[in-house]
Structure 1
Amino acid sequence: MVDVAASPGSTTSRAVAVPALSRGRRWSAVGWRYTKPLIAIAVFLGIWEAAPRLGLVDEVFLPPFSVVADAFVELVTNGQLWEHLSASLSRALTGFAIAIVIAIPLGVAIAWYKPVAEFLGPILELFRNTAALALLPVFILILGIGETSKIALVLYASTFPILLNTISGVRTVDPLLVKSARSLGLPAVRLFQKVILPAAVPTIFTGIRMAAASSILVLIAAEMVGAKAGLGYLITASQLNFQIPNMYAGIIAISLVGLAFNGVIVTIERRFSRWRPES
């Protein structure tokens, strides 16, 4: 008797082969998705390494990447990078955290309660169109050149992206969801907890990611103007002392901090958006 299940042309063997093939393609797609960015970065670093050595750019003003990497390692080894990084992170995280605590509840109130929107709307329109860096001299004059002015600047720059995206997220919640929840007798607190905020989470986190980028940018600019520690100070001091590799090492450190910020925020967003289907 012929064993049909074991025969190469049988339906069972094909059914086993097809899922295995699809899994292989899926793993291949995932691997390629993560490989492409690495290839792009490797090409960029290769061009950076080759351009100064081939004389395409002045090696004094743009050292090869290997020289910058050595300077980066040296700054890490002697502790200077951590000193400046910790100063910048403490300022950025403090202002950023305060902005989240203030902007999200305020955005919900403005979006949900019309009297609040009518009262605060004009002043918000005035300040949202005023660049944070334009107010840097004002913050320094009022709050001094110390930590308070820098944290206040980060707070100002971070508040509006979060605030505006929170307003947009709450106002664009599907009205049918709200009506359905109310018809089920859901109280206001549970309505916000179970319907409004979960539906607005993607838009709110878009504002948080924008605010994270803004907080780093304005802080670095503030540290370049007046500070004795921080990544912005490191870049400016290295430029003035003509320590060009150290300057580029500081720029790389800023990029890594930005990537870390974004990665943490994306991870938290996925935690709060588990109800959404995977894209």
Structure 2
Amino acid sequence: MSSAVELIAPPARLQVAVPHQPTPAVVADTGPGIALRAIAAAGKLGWRVLKPTIVIAVFLLIWQFAPAWGLVDEIFLPPFTTVAQAFIDLVRTGEMWTHVSTSLGRSLTGYSIALIFAVPLGIAIAWYKPVSDFLNPILELFRNTAALALLPVFVLILGIGETSKIALVVYASSFPILLNTITGVRTVDPLLIKSAVSLGLSPLRLFQKVILPAALPSIFTGLRMAAAGSILVLLAAEMVGARAGLGYLITAAQQNFQIPNMYAGILAISLLGLAFNGVLVGLERHFSRWRVDSNA
């Protein structure tokens, strides 16, 4: 009896036909979408510019019509158009540029000296405790002494010329820069420093890559405060024994009862301070591009 060998074939695998899913196509940006986004961005930018413009326009309108409404005497507060005309006349004759350039030269010289001196000193005080312990007492003494209170001292020691005025600007500008630099360096996140040290950064690279970038916002706050302070103190110094400068222009106009010229000098100070602050804000944005914009 022959035995039959049964060959059992493995069951066939069930094939399920899956409908073909087309790859989603990348929707190209259409012209209307780009236009809408451009309009929205332009509207946002326009509103940011329009808001301060409205405030300034309201202020100038009040200034213009306050004498006509009897709120102030026109002799002591001329309308804005009168002051603007006096400003234009001073610019046309070149007198305004003489005073502005003189004040700007003094202010920038003293401010630059304070910047070169105060930032490294602030970093040293914040980073090295022996330096801090040694200098803190004298800094606490002088930082609570107003710059204008020392104006007679600067005049007596350095004379009535340019040196005393520049020295007063250096003194007034140094402390805001110095104190904000100390605060900026001391408030750097310790975790950032430990992480950088664990990665093997040298002290120089640690300062360059971690400490200085983290302290920049505080340092620039001090720079902006010092810029405003330098102009104000310089104006007070120019009112004593100067022959040119915005402070001299204001004092001379007031003594000669040229009230529109006096307000023109004040207007020039405002524009100068605005330009100074704008430059510093632009530099801060350039050097702090790593920061996340909270308004975005």
Scaled to the shorter chain, the TM-score interval is: over 0.9
- Write the distance in 2 (CA, Å) between the matches of 1:47 and 1:14: 48
Identity %: 72
- Write the distance in 2 (CA, Å) between the matches of 1:114 and 1:51: 57
User: What does residue range 214-253 of structure 1 map to in structure 2 within 5 Å?
Assistant: 214-253=229-268
2:89 is aligned, of 71, 74, 77, to 74
Name the stretch that deviates more: 141-150 or 46-55. Answer: 46-55
- Write the distance in 2 (CA, Å) between the matches of 1:152 and 1:61: 34
1:212 is aligned, of 208, 227, 239, to 227
**1:105 aligned onto 2:120:** yes
Cα deviation code 1:211-252 (max 9, x no counterpart): 000000000011112211100000000000000000000000
**1:30 aligned onto 2:45:** yes
User: What does residue range 11-50 of structure 1 map to in structure 2 within 5 Å?
Assistant: 20-50=35-65
Name the stretch that deviates more: 68-77 or 52-61. Answer: 52-61
* Secondary structure at 2:67 match in 1: helix
Cα deviation code 1:159-216 (max 9, x no counterpart): 0000000000000001111111111111111111111000100000000000000000
Distance 1:62 1:163, change over 3 A: same
Q: Kindly provide the amino acid, as one letter, of the partner of residue 49 in structure 1.
A: Q
- Write the distance in 2 (CA, Å) between the matches of 1:70 and 1:110: 50
Q: Kindly provide the amino acid, as one letter, of the partner of residue 30 in structure 1.
A: L
| Unmatched segments (≥5 aa) in structure 1 | 1-11
Distance 1:55 1:14, change over 3 A: same
Q: Kindly provide the amino acid, as one letter, of the partner of residue 194 in structure 1.
A: K
TM-score by length of 1: 0.92
**1:154 aligned onto 2:169:** yes
1:192 is aligned, of 201, 204, 207, to 207
Residue of structure 2 equivalent to 1:142: 157
- Write the distance in 2 (CA, Å) between the matches of 1:113 and 1:225: 41
- Write the distance in 2 (CA, Å) between the matches of 1:277 and 1:162: 24
- C-alpha root-mean-square deviation of aligned residues, in Å? 1.7
TM-score by length of 2: 0.87
* Secondary structure at 2:100 match in 1: helix
| Unmatched segments (≥5 aa) in structure 2 | 1-26
* Secondary structure at 1:225 match in 2: coil
Distance 1:241 1:189, change over 3 A: same
Instruction: Count residues with an aligned counterpart.
Output: 269
Q: Kindly provide the amino acid, as one letter, of the partner of residue 32 in structure 1.
A: W
- Write the distance in 2 (CA, Å) between the matches of 1:174 and 1:90: 39
Distance 1:144 1:21, change over 3 A: same
**1:89 aligned onto 2:85:** no
Residue of structure 2 equivalent to 1:165: 180
Q: Kindly provide the amino acid, as one letter, of the partner of residue 287 in structure 2.
A: F
**1:255 aligned onto 2:274:** no
The structural deviation recorded for 1:15 is 8.5
- Write the distance in 2 (CA, Å) between the matches of 1:78 and 1:212: 28
- Write the distance in 1 (CA, Å) between the matches of 2:69 and 2:175: 46
- Write the distance in 1 (CA, Å) between the matches of 2:197 and 2:43: 47
